[in-house]
Structure 1
Amino acid sequence: MERRNFLRVAVVGAAAAAFGGAAWRDAFADGAQPGASPYGPLLAADGNGIQLPQGFTSRVIARTGQKVTGTNYTWHPAPDGGACFTDGSGWIYVSNSEVSSTGGVGAVKFNASGQITGAYRTLANTNVNCAGGATPWNTWLSCEEVDRGYVYETDPWGVKAAIRRPAMGRFKHEACAADPDHGYVYLTEDVSDGCFYRFKPTTWGDLSSGTLEILKGGSSQTSGPVTWGVVSDVDGSPTATRNQVVGAKRFNGGEGCYYAGGTCWFTTKGDNRVWAYNADTSSISLTYDDNLVTGGAAPLTGVDNVTGTSSGDLFVAEDGGNMEICIITPAGVVAPFLRISGQSGSEITGPAFSPAGNRLYFSSQRGTSGSSSGGITYEVTGPFRT
């Protein structure tokens, strides 16, 4: 069957209740389509080269190769995936470093008013740390995007040593998202014939052992029920993990991954799609496909990292495109939320909201220079929908 016949926003049951009630269920059958942003149009670029809606402001938090203001930590190259963690009345933003051999993770600590109070390393000398995901027990999972790469569990406070988690599989990791409702961690794989994985820890909260599975479905399937198959050799040698399960569904370049209320959203950059896996019904659907946008040019291309808000809005960062973070609303509207000008040789990475939901952090991985030494990490503050 043609995939356009299946495209839809499929968030039902608990996911719909958590993410805007009936809005996601009732989103129109053609999936997310261009429309007016709930935040209004983008204004002219500010002093940091960022176009934002009315009422929002930006500031630079850190620059690669320079000390974070008021600290002794030199910000790492190629900042990538990130997340925020509550720290008393303040918070911490962690950020991966997507470079070979010396990758790892850095962190910036903020007080209740948003002032920077510290910055430090939490993981060092790992390989091409791309994205990852936060856990409900307040650790950051940093993923190596190399063949037979590892997942590292890190401490955002930098007190406990990072721990390698081989039970979560050795493959070209991209992102992961914890599902406390069903007891899984979902993982994406950034290769053109990659898979979508889930890891079931033997004991929830302990990632030292468990079962790794791969989603199974039709080769062209874009909606409907799916099943899972166990990966027998998580070490991925001599047979890659993605080739161990008969009937594994292939995804073209797995990228960001975000879970809320029964649904795991994940993106595939090779075909500019945003997928939804409904964990309550074990089914998949498409939330967005740039190839099926009608009535004009697709506003979102080069889909990459994804995060969301308590109101149900998804925020999807672009790798390529025109350097935007786009919003997808529960009503099925996709529109630019911000745009970075003058940095066409870069990509937007690491979007994450502060615990209060009024600050959005992200990076331009290569900044104006187009190289890993030019990374810039930003904060945007304003009246986000909650």
Structure 2
Amino acid sequence: MSVLTAEPILASAVAPVATRATLGVWNLPSGFPSQLEAKLAWTGSSVSKDSDFILQLSGAEIVEVKTALEHFKTFGDDGDAINPSNFPLPTLGTKLADLSRDIHHGRGLGVIRGIKPSSYSTEDLTMIYLGVSSHIAESRGRQDKRGNMLVHIVADNSTKQAAEHHRHSTKEISFHNEEAGDVVSWLTRSTAAAGGKCIIASAYTIYNVLAATRPDLIRILARSDWPFALPKFHCRPVIFHQEGKLIMNFGRAALLGNQAHPRPSHLPTLTSQQKEALDAIEAIAQATQLEIQTQAGDMHFINNLAVLHRREGFVNGEALNEKRHLVRMRLRSAEHGWSIPSALEHEWKKAFGQKGAKHWHLEPMPASFFPLRRQPN
């Protein structure tokens, strides 16, 4: 993304030049490039003109998926055992391999469309999701301390705390990454009556805009003094540059707290510069975002290391098929997975390590398996 292309964004996304000049810090951190030249440095307007990130399944490919499902069921194994070998997709598998490469080394996003949830039982639909996604990234990670492998994102106002949690709120949420997982994926079982679009933005584009106009904020983001409070208090950078790749990983709740996760008063708070950096990320992300009108049955895949995501607010209807219901997974590919910075390794090991419980809830998790985490006292 060139500086010239970025200019319309800069007016609202970053401080005026006169203000920036008074900062006196223009150098990028050691090892960070002046610009990232990669397919990952896209804008929503450029990607939306080229819809080939959506893989529309043909009738023959849907039949192939059904055949793979029936083949896997002959083994009598649990869904956790699904892999590309026992869920064979001779023709579609080649396209999924290409999509996996694009998610890891190309634009960092992909949508598989054409599966109709109403045509399958909940169990079969889940196995199809596991089987198809195994051709994108075969390792599936735990998503919380309870070992939930499938997280259900549905509206829940049964308690004030649940209603304010990202997972169960109907409100819009800001751009963020998941704590772990090279790839974050979700299956849309049903959509809301209104709203709820998936919205994503490129961390590479955000970096290029900041590097060209606010390198001082790049320095702030790369410092190791960001006081994260989830899942427990620790300090680390928001951005990393490792083996030629930019990695961004943060969430506002972990840094600022919210109603579902109030931040203890004794923990350090963000500096004014850190808040400015977060606001700049959000502003640039919104100025360059890609909105995807999700359909029931869609399987979304994004590169969680280089693509931010958020959700617009939504309103559910009365009918079951008008209530937003996503099923999320965290994935990693042995072939294409990126090298993980040491500051993030702990979360990756918890998610993808061999030890630890695994629970596969086909429907929204019971209360005992929905850990509304609290920051340490």
- Identify the TM-score tier after normalising by the shorter chain: under 0.3
Q: TM-score, normalised by structure 1?
A: 0.27
Q: TM-score, normalised by structure 2?
A: 0.28
Which structure ranks higher in relative contact order (CA pairs < 8 Å, sequence separation ≥ 6)? 2
Q: Mark the structure with the bigger radius of gyration.
A: 2
**Structure with greater strand percent:** 1
**Structure with greater helix percent:** 2
